[in-house]
Amino acid sequence: MSERPYVIDEMISAKAIAARIEELSHAIKEEFRDTNKLVVVGLLRGSFVFIADLVRELDLPVEVDFLEASSYGNAMESSREVRILKDLRGQIEGRDVLVVEDIVDTGHTLKHVVGLLASRKPGRLRTIALLDKPSRRETDVAADWIGFSIPDEFVVGYGIDYAQRNRNLPFIGKVRFPEA
């Protein structure tokens, strides 16, 4: 990665994120109110902050598992080639599953992951994404729940990184490269 300096402008505040997660949790609790255990699958690495905050709002029996898929590496653009770097530890056949994604951009990662998990025959399979960039979609995939729809901007914070940096920001920020 080039050490080209950049600036981060706040786009979605920590307070707005917390309020939206509370709203989303109500819809998820309603959908899964009859579950005996909801398997919440976080897509690493970007979803780890979102999944932590989300499961704390769910008044349901939950099990948390993780799957790591990559289509970016350290780049700002998707390679469109999805690789599974870490698979689930547990079985999901016949179980209720909620896939938690940080951002749906081109849609290739979510489509690949949903196809993979659907082939394992879960009872119910639903998806949630903190951020959605519909203008960038290249596939026919959509999350069941969306936190925020955003324009085509490169964003960081709240678990989302740029070359492994800025995940620790409590807000979603737009990356901007100042003129030299």
Cis status, amide bond into 137, omega within 30 of 0: no
pLDDT of residue 1: 45
Domain ranges of the chain: 14-150
CB 17 within 8 A of CB 52: no
pLDDT of residue 179: 80
Tens-place pLDDT, residues 6-59: 999 999 999 999 999 999 999 999 999 999 999 999 998 899 999 999 999 999
105 part of the active site: yes
pLDDT of residue 163: 84
CB 44 within 8 A of CB 83: no
Work out the mean pLDDT of the chain and round it to a whole number: 92
What would the mean pLDDT of 75-100 be, rounded to a whole number?
84
Tens-place pLDDT, residues 93-125: 999 999 999 999 999 999 999 999 999 999 999
CB 174 within 8 A of CB 154: yes
Strands, sheet with 124-132, edge to edge from the N-terminal-most edge strand: 83-86, 62-70, 38-44, 96-104, 124-132, 145-149
- 3 compared with 109, residue with greater pLDDT: 109
* pLDDT band at 79; cut points 50, 70, 90: low
**Catalytic residue, candidates 96, 102, 105, 132:** 105
In order of 2, 12, 24, 34, 113, the CA distances from 69 in angstroms are 24, 25, 24, 30, 8
**How do the residues of the chain divide into helix, strand and coil, expressed in percent and rounded to 5?**
25, 35, 45
CA distance 142 to 151: 16
52 — phi, psi (to 5°)?
A: -60, -45
What would the mean pLDDT of 119-141 be, rounded to a whole number?
96
| Residue 73 scores a pLDDT above 60 | no
Q: The domain at 14-150 falls in which architecture?
A: 3-Layer(aba) Sandwich (3.40)
| Residue 89 scores a pLDDT above 50 | yes
Supply the angle between the helices 48-57 and 14-31 in degrees, to the nearest 10: 60
pLDDT of residue 2: 53
What would the mean pLDDT of 64-80 be, rounded to a whole number?
70
Burial class (CB in 10 A: 0-12, 13-18, 19+), 33: exposed
